[in-house]
Structures are given as C-alpha cells and as structure tokens.
C-alpha cells in the first residue's frame, strides 16, 4: 500500500512538471519533446483510477491543455501531428472536470474549437477529435448556448448522415456532441424551430430499419439520447408528438422487445414516450374535494384552504421523513443534518405553557380513578347481568361460527345469491332493533328475492317501513355472526349516531359484518420483470388508438346519474358513499380496465392516497385492471411487494369474513395526468393492480389497507367495557371533547381496581404512573387503529402480564385523535384541511379541538405531579418496512448534526432506549435499528417533540407501523395483517413492564413470562435508520431516461483511444474496423501502443518512469 501511494505521489509530481512545460509557448522545434510529454501524460493518466486525472485537474491541468490547444491552433496551418494528441487528451481530462466549459470560455477556446471543426469537416479523424472536445465543453450550459449562437448546431447536425457503414466513430461523436449541445434549452428551442426533431426521427428510423445486422445499436441509442435532450422543453415534446415520434418509438419498441440484441433500445424508447405523452388534466370539475365544511371564523371559499406551497403536499406519514425529498439526492442529508436542531438551549429549555393554569381545571373529570370511592368493593355486589350482546362473548363461539358457516355454505351452493352489502344507517331506527313475529310464505319469498339481489340500495332504504324486518336482523337470522369483540347490531347502532359531511345512510358490509384475521401471514407479492413497461405501453396505446377506448364514466360522486344507469353487463358498479370510503370517480377505459380518481381531503385539493370502495357486477376468473391515477407520493411500498386488500361478501357469508391481500401486476409510476388547475410543479402517479374475482356477481370491497372506522371503534369500546370484570378492571370511557363535526372523541382510562377500600390500596392506585397512548391522528393510517385495538384488548384481558400492567400503571388512551377525518375518508387532514400532527405547538381550540384538549390534559397531568412516564403516538408508515420508534434525545441530535457542542460533557438519561430495546427482543415485527431519536426543526410541532419538550416526558415516542411487511425476523418476506398489527399493540404494552420491574411484586404466572423481557433475542437483522429501506425501484418511476445517467467516461475513453491509434489507412477501412467488437479494439490498441508516434517517441522515455 505504501509503495502504491509512493508511485502515485511520484506520478503526480511528474504530471505537475509536465503541465508547467505544456502551458508555456511552444516553438516549432519543440514538437518532438511536446509529443513525448503528451504521450507520457496519456500513459500515466490511463493507468489506475481517476485519482491522477483529478490531481492533474486540481493543479491546473485543464487550463494547461487549453493553453496548449490555443498555442498550437494559432499556427497557420495548425500542426495536426501535435494538435490531435492535445485534443484527445483534452477530451479524456475534460469529461472529468465539471468546470471545463467555464474554463474554456475564460480561455476563449470555445470558438477556436468550433473553428477547428469547420476546417476539418472532411477529415473524419480530426472531426471526431474536435467533436469530443466540444461534447465535454458542453458540460456547461452557457458554453453549449455560446456554441449554439455561433451555428454550432448546424455544423454538428450536418455531420450526422443517413445509415452508412463508413466513419461510424465520427458519426457517433457527432450525435453525442449534438446531444450535449441540446442540454441548453435555448439550443433545444432553436433545434425545434429548424426542424431538427423531425430530422432526428427520420435518422433514427433509417438507422433502425437498415441496420439489419444489428451492428450499430450504439448509434440508435445515441439518437434516442439526442431526442431525450431535445424534448427537455415543452416545444420539443410537442414537436416530437406532432412529427409522429410516439408512433415510431412504439413500433420500434414492439420490434426490439422480441429481437435479440436490441433489448437495450426498449427502455430509453419507453421513457421517451412517457416523457412526451401529452399532459392531460383530470376529468374533474375542480381539484377541490367534493366535501367542504364551514370552519369557525373562515369563509366557505374552497380555495382559501389550498396550501400556498407544496410543502406539506407530499409529507410522508406522521413525523417521519418528508416524502417530497425523495426526488432530491441530498434530501436525506438535509433531513438528518440541515434539519436537525443544533441549538442546545432550544433542545433543553422547556417553553412556557400555551394557556393559563386556571384553564386546566376542566380536565379534573378525566381522572376518575383519582376520585372514585369504589363503593362496590365494600358492598361486594356482583357484576351486572350480561346483556344479549354479552352472550356473543360467553357462548361457544367456535361451534356457533362453524354452524353458521355450514348453513351459509349449504344455502349458497350452486346459486348466485348475494345479499345486499349494505345495511341501513341513521334515521332508520328499525335497522338496529330486533325484528319479531312470524312471516308468511309470501313474505319469505319476497325476502329471498331481496337477498338474491346484486345491489339493493332501494331495499335497504325501505327497511324502516312498517311490517318489514330490518336488513340487519334478516342477515343475522339467516347467516349468524360471531366475531370476537364485534357485534353487527352494536356497530349499526354506533353508526346511526355518527355525523358525516355527506350524511351517510349506508353501511359498508365489511365494517358491519366484521373481520377475522387471516390464518397465517401472507407473502409479499413477487414483481414480474418489466411489468411496469407492459402497463405503460398499454397506456400509450390509448393515445395511439383512441378509437379502442370506451371512456365511460360509471361512477361519479358529484353526479349520481352514471351510477344509477350502469346496469350494463359489460361494466362494473362502484360505490364509496359510506363511512371511511374514498373514491370520487370511476371511468371505464377498456372492457376490463378502469381509471379511478380519489377524492382530496376535506377543504383541500391534495392528499390522495387512501382509498376504500365497493365494486360489484364482476365476472369470475376474469382479470380486471384498476388504475388509481391521482396518487401524489413519489414512491410507494406497492413497488416493493405490498398489495391492496379485498373483502368478498360472498366469502364472508360462506364463513370466511376477512380482508385478504390481493392483486397482481402491481406497480406505481408517474403518469401524464395533472390537476385541473395545471399547477406547474404538480404531477400525479398511477397505482395499477389487477384483480381476478372468484365469484360471478359478487360484491367486493377494495382498500389501501385494512379499514377501521370510527363506528368500529365506538362499538369495540362498548364490547370491551362489557367484557371486563368491574371488580378487577377499572375501565372508563369519557369524552375528551367534540370534534368540528360534533363527534365525541373518546378517552379511555384502564387500570386495576384496588384490592380493597383501605387507605393503602387507594394510595397505591392513585400513585401509579400514567402511560398515555394516542392513535389515528392521520385518518389514512388505519394500521395504527389495529395496533391500538391490540393494545386495548390486551390491557382488558385476563393475561397475567396484562393484570400486572394494570396494577403498575394507569393507562390514558385516546384511540382516535381525528374522528372526522376517519369518518369522511380523508388521508391526512381533519375537516380544517390541516395536518393535526403539525398543530401541537399552538393548537387552535376551534379548528383543532382534539389536539388542543389532548395537550391540555397532558398539561393538567404535569401540573398535578403526574407527568406521564411514557407517551406514544401510533402511526403508519408508507415508505418503510417493519415497526419502529421515533424518540427524542439531545445528545444524539447534537452528535448527528455535527454540532460543536461537546456531547461527552452532557448528562442525559438513556432510559428513552429501554422500550425500543425490549421491543426488539419480544416483538417479531419490530426493528431496533430502524429507530432514531433525532429532534428535527420541521417536526417541532409534532406530538412526539412537543410532549417531550413542553411536558417533559423522557419517553415520548411515535411508533410507526408499516403498511407493507417485514424484511427481518420470523415475519421476513411477509405482509403485516391485522393479527400481526394487534400483536404489536400487545407487545408494546408488555414492554412497559421493564420500567417497573424493580418496584413490582409478581405472582408465579408473571414470573414465568418475565424472562422474555430480559433475554431470548429474536433473529432480527435490522436496518440502519439513516439508510433508505428500499433500493431504487427496478423500473424507473419517473421519466428520466437511463441514457441521461449513463457515465460517459469509459465509452468516451475507449472511443478516443481507438481514434488515437488509428491511422489514415484505418479510416479508409473504417467499414471493416468498426465491425470489430470493443474488446478487439482494445487488444488492437494495446498492440499499437508500441507504435505510437514511432519516429518521435523513444521507448526508453517510458521505461525510465
């Protein structure tokens, strides 16, 4: 290693000496010595890596070569024996010098170079050398513009002939030089005005059709590269479309895909077609959400709520990395360095409360355990008799469910019965009451016909009429239902009191009937090679063959008439006007293909990601393609194995009521659609997937992720309260506040009841530390609700660990911070059009009531000396796999930001790492190495940072759960289901026991479980949190052509070397020479090295080095 470094040092010193010699004036008699210097420089710089070249550049090597070029070119006529090696060396060095164009302008060498090219248009060897130098000069846009203004475009374009077998190297150099010139948008516009787009297309077609031996594929690639640069302006793209470029490229692609050796042309051609596909506004009356809501103190003007910048338009989930930064290579450094808080005082100082202490008294009622007298302990009263709903929890669930499944199976065998997928909602009391009495045969026949119908809005809406039993009762009577902690009657009752903007009157069947977790984890989808290319080509065919496109609106939230009239057998039927639903418009493109448009968040025109809709009228075993065409994020886990979820009503009534992952040929890529307002910086992405339904005329539901509605939460809380023993479990549901729409935001208190009313027992209860859990501040993160469901059910269970947790802590749980957003099917915002997880710093009591009162409650706990021991906000993450935590640490933030503060002298309690470490041992889906504890400026108003900084909670976390699955441990390669999410919620609660081990007394059952919290690490192979989870997608999501990122260095070096070692005779035999492979050329180059400048260069001059 030392020897290598010494050789490099000596070489660099030699290079420096030669540079000084080159930069001086050259006499006619110095030709031999100058050639020797150039030869030695070339040998030195060609060996090893680019280190020597960069050293040469740093020492003024580019400037020296430019001076040598000027000194040699000023002779009349120029000495080409000397000039050619200078040009070759300048080309090699120049493409590694990013400022070579600026340096050439400063040295006034640009126009000199163009003049040399004019003088040597008929000498292929010299012209190639001049073209390479011009190409590297164009690394500077200003240099390219200067050349264009001096007719450089015309000169270079004339050097590109139709298909030929002569001077191929020079032709390739001319095309590459033209592509470099077209980096300037001024030159692009000039090229369009002079018809060069048409000329380039004709050249490409000519070379493609006449290159029957497939010998000149690089020429065709270079022409595509040229077209790629020429279409960097809108006029260039329009010109390519007008000249039939898309048709030509499409035909070329079809040929190349099935021709060996031409596959390399397919991807750049496809990317070029995507780039030039004419932009099209979404077929909407407005970008604004269909739903609007009048806000206190603000006029009802939809555009008042549109963000003025794209700052939060593409924010990623919760307080994680900003998704818009994906498009910037330096974004990650920005997130973890520029965005990190570096002010030590800001990190340490606790701000003053945002409200007077007198206002905190209103939260006394939210701590009932501190004031409850527990009279029932003294009276020894038994628990209340269980209601009808309780029998669902205490009966033989498995047998009842099996019987109902067998009954339904028998009834549906051999028939196409499909009961209505929706039941009546509020305004129809009979829908939630028990039906009574006997029915006549005629009534039975009428009901049987109703149960067979495919789409029964009318029957559902008529179910309140006198003499008709409710749809709820008829479904339960016929099929039965027994899903743990779920009762359809309770759900219907809860839904009847839920307030929505649209006044929903229909229930989605999956939410009403319930969901059982899938048996076993589902594998991530395997992406078929080139599936995106196939989908993009199908999209391009829409433009080329518009007569084949149906383009029929089959569902529109703003205009119900298409849905009412879509009884055609050739069309699917869609519906989304139910709680949590989101589908704004459906357009039938082809017989089995549909474009779907999502609705924006209420009072905004953005945040399109969450979808949940009903589809019916399908044929079995037919692949249907669905395209969601107005997604906003620049990448998605759908590119890495994630699938949407599907619920089949037919399957549910046959005993399999569950959401399942579904879809094949899934990909996510940028499309040609744009908002109706045509904002310059806005663009959309397509999520496309194919679904093959199992049953004819089924009613199915498709969703982004497992839905969990507000009404489901309300019904679930009622079931939980009835399931616990009130003598052992203190369970209270209270209303934190009402939302903007008037829906109550529940706050749950769970702890263990004292063993007696003795002073000691009550004292122990009232001195238990608090744990505060929140979830679903972002409505589209339904996985957070499933994790919360797991936490709630575990804390209410009879598990010994759960009992220990209740005896150790008082749990304050707000399971849904944004009920309005969840109800109305938004993705990120509340009805105010704002991200509630960015309002914690100074929440507005009128616009963000749930955040205002949640923060006020935390202030109250802090004011009475009961600051929470742990605060955790449950979220979902759309860009990463696994489950992980974000926390807060002063030392780690300062260290990561590169602050000058000496972190070794700072004292900080490392307890914030205790829970993540425990979870890494006990939770299969958890990834410790994906966690981080950095405090970012852009997250200063999130729950995690505000609770840590203002309330003083050391263990303030955001827990992120993936929408996709895991890439580690026992769940590696599997997608997360509701069972795994609920398990994660239970595991988080279990991890809290490590905080109280030293002060708790355990019974024998608990002791046997505690070893899990200390050892038995799982087989985790986690990720570094500073590295993106996913590699670049196997196919380009954006429009960037691969040719634009191809490194020109090696290709250019090999071409230059071949030109250096060729003679005039070789040029005359160029046809034969260019048939040789590059490998053969390199071998020939090595053989010719000994003959390089034979009369002038002595072999011993190289041997001495």
* pLDDT more than 70, % of the chain: 75
- Rounded average pLDDT over 29-49: 72
Task: Please count the other Cβ atoms lying within 10 Å of the Cβ belonging to residue 1009.
Answer: 16
pLDDT digits over 225-252, tens only? Answer: 999 999 999 999 999 999 999 999 999 9
Residue 901's CB is within 10 A of a number of other CB atoms, namely 16
Q: Are 91 and 100 within 8 A, CB to CB?
A: no
Phi–psi pair at 29, nearest 5 degrees: -80, -5
For residue 820, pLDDT beyond 80: yes
CB 368 within 8 A of CB 734: yes
Lowest-pLDDT range, 389-403, 606-620, 911-925, 997-1011?
A: 389-403
Range with lowest mean pLDDT among 302-311, 550-559, 983-992: 302-311
Q: How many CB atoms lie within 10 A of CB 212?
A: 7
Place of tokens 């400063």: 106
The pLDDT tens digits for 358-377 are 999 999 999 999 988 887 77
User: Average of pLDDT values for 999-1016?
Assistant: 54
* Confidence tier at 95 by pLDDT (50, 70, 90): confident
* Three-class secondary structure assignment of 12-56: HHHHHHHHHHHHCCCCHHHHHHHHHHHHHHHHHHHCCCCHHHHHH
Tokens matching residue 169: 């190297």
Count CB neighbours of 693 within 10 A. 22
Pairing of strands 659-661, 770-775: unpaired
Q: Which of 340-354, 511-525, 688-702, 907-921 has the lowest mean pLDDT?
A: 340-354
555 vs 465 pLDDT, higher one: 555
Q: What pLDDT was estimated at residue 1051?
A: 73
Query: 253 by DSSP, 3-state: which?
Result: helix
pLDDT band at 93 (very low <50, low <70, confident <90, very high): confident
Does the model's pTM come out above 0.75? yes
Q: Which residues contact 626 (CB under 8 A, 6 or more apart)?
A: 593, 594, 596, 688, 689, 690, 691, 702
Is pLDDT above 50 for 641?
yes
Local confidence band at 24 (pLDDT 50, 70, 90 cut-offs): low
* Residue among 282, 845, 321, 323 at smallest CA distance from 600: 282
Confidence of residue 15 (pLDDT cuts 50, 70, 90): low
Tokens of 197: 């787009």
Nearest to 511 by CA among 659, 408, 400, 618: 659
Distance CA 348, CA 338 (A): 19
CB 925 within 8 A of CB 882: yes
State how far the Cα of 667 lies from the Cα of 741, in Å rounded to an integer. Answer: 37
Report the distance separating Cα 304 and Cα 322, nearest Å. Answer: 24
The DSSP code sequence of 501-532 is SS---B--HHHHH-----SSPEEPPPPPTTHH
Model pLDDT, residue 200: 96
Instruction: Kindly state the tokens that stand for 884.
Output: 């992980």
> 665 catalytic, yes or no?
no
pLDDT band at residue 347 using 50, 70 and 90 as cut-offs: confident
pLDDT at residue 12, as a whole number? 55
**Tokens 């001195």 -> residue:** 767
pLDDT of residue 495: 95
Q: Are 129 and 91 in contact (CB under 8 A)?
A: yes
Hey, is 163 helix, strand or coil? coil
Distance CA 178, CA 158 (A): 10
Token pair 């190639």 in the structure block, residue: 128
pLDDT (mean) for 73-102: 88
Kindly report the three-state secondary structure assignment for every residue of 910-928.
HHHHHHHHHHHHHCCCECH
How big is the chain, counted in residues?
1105
pLDDT class of 789 with cuts at 50, 70, 90:
very high
Residue 168's Cβ-side half-sphere holds a number of Cα atoms within 13 Å equal to: 24
Query: pLDDT of 406-458, one tens digit each?
Result: 333 333 333 333 434 444 444 333 233 333 344 454 555 555 444 443 443 33
Three-state secondary structure of 832-854: CCCCHHHCCCCCCCCCCHHHHHH
Q: How far apart are CA 964 and CA 873, in angstroms?
A: 19
Q: Once rounded to an integer, what is the mean pLDDT over residues 129-150?
A: 94
Residues linked to residue 612 through DSSP beta bridges, in sequence order: 582, 703
CA angle 680/683/687 to nearest 5° reads 175
Task: With beta carbons less than 8 A apart as the criterion, state whether 711 and 692 touch.
Answer: no
Residues with Cβ within 8 Å of residue 1042, at least 6 apart in sequence: 267, 268, 271, 1036
Residue 870 pLDDT more than 90? yes
CA distance 702 to 670: 22
* pLDDT of 346: 74
Q: Region 390-399: what's the mean pLDDT?
A: 36
Catalytic residue (one of 63, 632, 807, 960): 960
pLDDT at 179 over 70: yes
Highest mean pLDDT among 41-45, 46-50, 829-833: 829-833
> How far, in Å, are 882, 933, 1020 from residue 1023 at the CA level?
10, 15, 10
**Residue-wise pLDDT tens digits, 737-768:** 999 999 999 999 999 999 888 889 999 999 99
Strand pairing category for 664-670 and 685-692: antiparallel
Report CA-CA distances (Å) from 413 to 175, 551, 654. Answer: 68, 37, 9
Residue 762 forms beta bridges with which residues? none
**Tell me, what's the pLDDT at 568?**
63
* Top-confidence residue, 445 or 131: 131
Enclosing H/E stretch for 694:
none
The two three-digit tokens of residue 908, written as one number? 């900080």
Determine the pLDDT at residue 425: 41
Instruction: Provide the pairing of β-strand 659-661 with 729-738.
Output: unpaired
Give tens-digit pLDDT for 550-593.
999 999 998 876 555 555 678 999 999 999 999 999 999 999 99
DSSP string across 938-954: GGTTSHHHHIIIII--S
Phi, psi torsion values for 55, nearest 5 degrees? -65, -45
Residue 900 has pLDDT above 90, yes or no: no
pLDDT band at 1091 (very low <50, low <70, confident <90, very high): very low
Helices (H), 576-667: 649-653
Average pLDDT, the chain: 81
Mean pLDDT across 396-409? 36
Residue 1073 neighbours by CB under 8 Å, 6+ apart: 1062, 1066, 1081
Distance CA 1070, CA 1061 (A): 13
Residue 691 three-state SS: strand
When pLDDT is cut at 50, 70 and 90, the band that residue 1071 belongs to is: very low
Instruction: Answer whether residue 545 shows pLDDT above 50.
Output: yes
Strand partners, 874: 775, 959
DSSP class per residue in 766-814: HTSPEEEEEE-SSTT-HHHHHHHHHHHHHHTS--HHHHHHHHH-EEEEE
Alpha-carbon distance 635 to 668, whole Å?
7
| Cα distance between the two ends of the chain | 19
Percent of the chain with pLDDT over 90: 59
What is the reported pLDDT for 455?
42
pLDDT at 566: 53
Minimum mean pLDDT range among 71-80, 720-729, 832-841, 861-870: 71-80
């Amino acid at each position: 290693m030392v020897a290598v470094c010494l050789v490099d040092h000596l070489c660099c010193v030699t290079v420096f000496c030669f540079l000084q010699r080159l930069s001086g004036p050259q006499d006619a008699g110095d030709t031999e010595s100058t050639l020797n210097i150039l030869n030695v420089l070339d040998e030195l710089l060609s060996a090893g890596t680019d280190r020597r070249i960069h050293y040469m550049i740093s020492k003024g090597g580019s400037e020296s070569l430019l001076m040598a070029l000027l000194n040699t070119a000023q002779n009349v006529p120029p000495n080409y024996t000397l000039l050619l090696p200078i040009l070759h060396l300048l080309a090699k060095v120049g493409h590694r010098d990013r400022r070579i164009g600026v340096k050439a302008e400063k040295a006034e060498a640009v126009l000199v170079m163009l003049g040399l090219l004019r003088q040597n248009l008929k000498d292929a060897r010299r012209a190639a050398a001049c073209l390479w130098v011009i190409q590297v000069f164009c690394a500077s846009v200003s240099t390219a513009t200067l050349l264009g203004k001096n007719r450089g475009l015309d000169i270079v374009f004339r050097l590109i002939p139709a298909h030929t077998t002569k001077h191929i190297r020079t032709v390739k150099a001319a095309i590459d030089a033209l592509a470099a010139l077209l980096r300037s948008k001024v030159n692009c516009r000039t090229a369009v005005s002079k018809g060069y787009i048409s000329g380039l297309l004709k050249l490409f077609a000519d070379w493609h059709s006449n290159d029957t031996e497939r010998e000149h594929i690089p020429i065709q690639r270079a022409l595509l590269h040229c077209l790629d640069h020429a279409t960097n302006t809108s006029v260039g793209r329009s010109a390519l479309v007008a000249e039939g470029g898309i048709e030509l490229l499409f035909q070329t692609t079809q040929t190349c895909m099935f021709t060996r050796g031409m596959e390399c042309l397919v991807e750049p051609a496809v990317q070029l077609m995507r780039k030039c596909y004419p932009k099209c506004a979404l077929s909407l009356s407005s970008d604004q959400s269909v739903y609007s809501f009048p806000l206190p103190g603000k006029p009802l003007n939809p555009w008042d709520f549109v963000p003025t910048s794209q700052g939060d338009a593409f924010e990623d989930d919760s307080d994680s990395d900003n998704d818009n930064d994906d498009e910037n290579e330096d974004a990650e450094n920005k997130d973890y360095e520029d965005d990190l808080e570096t002010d030590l005082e800001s990190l340490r100082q606790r701000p003053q409360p945002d409200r007077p202490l007198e206002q905190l008294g209103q939260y006394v009622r939210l701590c009932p355990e501190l004031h409850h007298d527990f009279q029932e302990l003294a009276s020894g009263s038994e628990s209340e008799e269980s209601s009808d709903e309780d029998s669902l929890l205490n009966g033989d669930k498995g047998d009842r469910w099996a019987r109902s499944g067998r009954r339904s199976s028998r009834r549906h065998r051999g028939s196409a019965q499909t009961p209505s997928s929706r039941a009546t909602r509020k305004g129809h009391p009979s829908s939630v009451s028990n039906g009574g009495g006997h029915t006549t045969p005629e009534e039975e026949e009428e009901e049987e016909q109703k149960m067979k119908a495919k789409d029964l809005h009318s029957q559902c809406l008529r179910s309140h009429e006198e003499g008709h039993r409710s749809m709820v009762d008829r479904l339960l009577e016929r099929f039965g239902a027994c899903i743990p902690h779920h009762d359809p009657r309770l759900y219907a009752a809860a839904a009847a009191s839920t307030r929505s903007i649209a006044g929903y009157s229909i229930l989605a069947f999956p939410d009403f009937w319930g969901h059982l977790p899938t048996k076993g984890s589902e594998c991530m989808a395997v992406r078929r090679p080139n599936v995106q290319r196939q989908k993009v080509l199908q999209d391009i065919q829409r433009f080329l063959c518009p007569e084949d496109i149906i383009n029929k609106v089959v569902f529109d939230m703003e205009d119900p008439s298409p849905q009412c009239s879509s009884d055609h057998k050739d069309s699917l039927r869609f519906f989304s006007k139910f709680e949590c639903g989101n589908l704004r418009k459906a357009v039938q493109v082809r017989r089995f293909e549909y474009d779907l448009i999502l609705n924006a968040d209420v009072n905004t025109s953005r945040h399109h990601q969450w979808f949940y809709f009903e589809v019916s009228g399908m044929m079995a075993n037919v692949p249907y393609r669905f395209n969601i065409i107005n997604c906003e994020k620049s990448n998605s886990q759908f590119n890495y194995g994630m699938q949407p979820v599907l619920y089949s009503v037919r399957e549910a009534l046959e005993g399999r009521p569950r959401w399942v992952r579904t879809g094949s040929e899934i990909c996510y890529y940028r499309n040609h659609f744009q908002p109706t307002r045509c904002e310059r910086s806005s663009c959309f992405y397509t999520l496309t997937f194919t679904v093959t339904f199992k049953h004819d005329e089924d009613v199915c539901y498709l969703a982004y992720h497992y839905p969990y509605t507000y009404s489901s939460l309300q019904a679930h809380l009622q079931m939980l309260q009835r399931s616990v023993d009130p003598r052992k479990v203190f369970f209270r549901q209270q209303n934190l506040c009402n939302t903007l729409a008037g829906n109550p935001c529940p706050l749950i208190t769970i702890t263990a009841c004292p063993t007696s009313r003795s002073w000691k027992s009550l004292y122990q209860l009232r001195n238990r530390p608090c744990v505060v859990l929140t979830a679903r501040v972002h409505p589209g993160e339904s996985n957070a609700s499933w994790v919360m469901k797991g936490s709630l059910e575990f804390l209410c269970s009879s598990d010994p660990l759960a009992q220990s947790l209740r005896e150790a802590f008082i749990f304050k749980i707000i399971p849904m911070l944004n009920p309005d957003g969840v109800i109305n099917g938004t993705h990120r915002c509340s009805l105010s059009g704002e991200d509630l997880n960015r309002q914690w710093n100074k929440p507005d009591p009128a616009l963000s009531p749930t955040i205002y009162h949640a923060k006020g409650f935390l202030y109250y706990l802090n004011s009475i000396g009961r600051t929470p021991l742990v605060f955790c906000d449950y979220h979902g993450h759309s860009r990463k796999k696994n489950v992980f935590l974000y926390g807060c640490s002063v030392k780690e933030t300062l260290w990561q930001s590169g602050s000058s503060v000496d972190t070794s002298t700072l004292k900080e309690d490392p307890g914030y790492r205790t829970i993540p470490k425990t979870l890494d041992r006990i939770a299969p889906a958890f990834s410790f190495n994906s966690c981080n504890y950095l405090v970012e400026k852009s997250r200063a108003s999130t729950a995690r940072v505000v609770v840590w900084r203002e309330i003083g909670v050391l263990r303030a976390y955001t827990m992120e759960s993936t929408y996709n699955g895991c890439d580690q441990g026992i769940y590696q390669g599997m997608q997360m289901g509701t069972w795994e999410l609920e398990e994660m919620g239970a595991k988080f609660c279990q991890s809290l026991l490590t905080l109280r081990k030293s002060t708790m007394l355990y019974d024998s059952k608990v002791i046997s479980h505690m070893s899990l919290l200390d050892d038995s690490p799982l087989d985790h192979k986690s990720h570094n949190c500073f590295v993106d989870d996913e590699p670049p997608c196997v196919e380009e999501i954006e429009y960037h052509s691969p040719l634009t990122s191809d490194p020109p260095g090696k290709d250019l070096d090999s071409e230059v070397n071949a030109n250096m070692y060729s003679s005039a005779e070789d040029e005359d035999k160029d046809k034969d020479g260019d048939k040789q492979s590059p490998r053969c050329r390199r071998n020939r180059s090595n053989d010719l090295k000994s003959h390089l400048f034979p009369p002038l260069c002595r072999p011993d001059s190289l041997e001495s080095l």
